[in-house]
Amino acid sequence: MNHIFQGISSFRGNVFPGQQAMYQRLVRDGQSPSALIIACADSRVSPEHITQAGPGDLFVCRNAGNIVPPFAEQNGGVSSAIEYAVVALGVRDIVVCGHSDCGAMKGLMNPGALSSMPNVAAWLRHSHAANQIVCEAYPEGMDPKARHRAVALENVVVQLGHLRSHPSVAAGLAKGQLRLHGWFFELESGQILGYDGKLGRFVSIEQDAEIPVAQAPAVRLAAPEMGVPVAAE
């Protein structure tokens, strides 16, 4: 822990003095992060680091496997973070960010390895669909590394589906006020892929190009004759 304590000391002595005005402004004006990012708790996957974001920029929720439990199934930290970010902070973009070499996805593929971790095993049931997609829809005999990557990519798409089951997200999408994103961070290359909802697959996020969107904002009412749709701001 020594280097962590040294880090605190360095932050207090060297960094904070230059940023005090910014922190005070963030307290005075309150936070208005531009996005909610749901990422894996893996120590190598830091949303702030890969987006070069600073304090106040991102509302972050991290857990093993970047999982979003479906709304009806579990009331907990992830559900609360989503609701707060959308309703109280008014974020317009939500990102689910998976990554390569994910231990949670390895556990999902090898449930026997989780016998001493009943909580992890129970948590990962929210990702079972990703594993089943790969088992049934991908070619048999894939090498284990490719299989692991496919499960991690499909898991991002599965969690985006769960995200839509949350009432605040469903309402934000219907009003055309929310965009959903699925990202995949490749630790080995530093590349970040984005899920393109129109293409139905991941593409690389290129510099100066438009960022791929899993679900673009579009006003959608199943019964438009009942009223005037709320216009997107």
Of 10-18, 41-49, 128-136, 199-207, the segment contacting Zn ion by CB under 5 A is 41-49
Of 35-43, 55-63, 89-97, 210-218, the segment contacting Zn ion by CB under 5 A is 35-43
Which is closer to Zn ion, CB of 33 or CB of 98? 98
Which is closer to Zn ion, CB of 42 or CB of 93? 42
Q: List, in order, residues 6 or more apart from 93 with CB less than 8 Å away.
A: 34, 35, 36, 178, 179, 180, 181
Minimum distance, C-beta of residue 57 to Zn ion, in the bound complex (Å)? 22
Residue showing tokens 């990702």: 127
Q: Does 42 bind Zn ion (CB under 5 A)?
A: yes
Backbone angles phi, psi at 184, to 5 degrees: -140, 120
Which is closer to Zn ion, CB of 163 or CB of 178? 163
Measure Cα distances from 134 to 128, 155, 162 in Å. Answer: 10, 10, 18
Of 32-40, 124-132, 184-192, 207-215, the segment contacting Zn ion by CB under 5 A is 32-40
| Rounded Cα–Cα distance for residues 204 and 166 (Å) | 28
Candidates 36, 37, 39, 40; binder of Zn ion (CB under 5 A) is: 40
Candidates 39, 58, 102, 173; binder of Zn ion (CB under 5 A) is: 102
Running DSSP on this structure, what letter comes out for residue 129? H
Tokens read off for 60: 């972050």
- Contacts to Zn ion by CB under 5 A: 40, 42, 102, 104
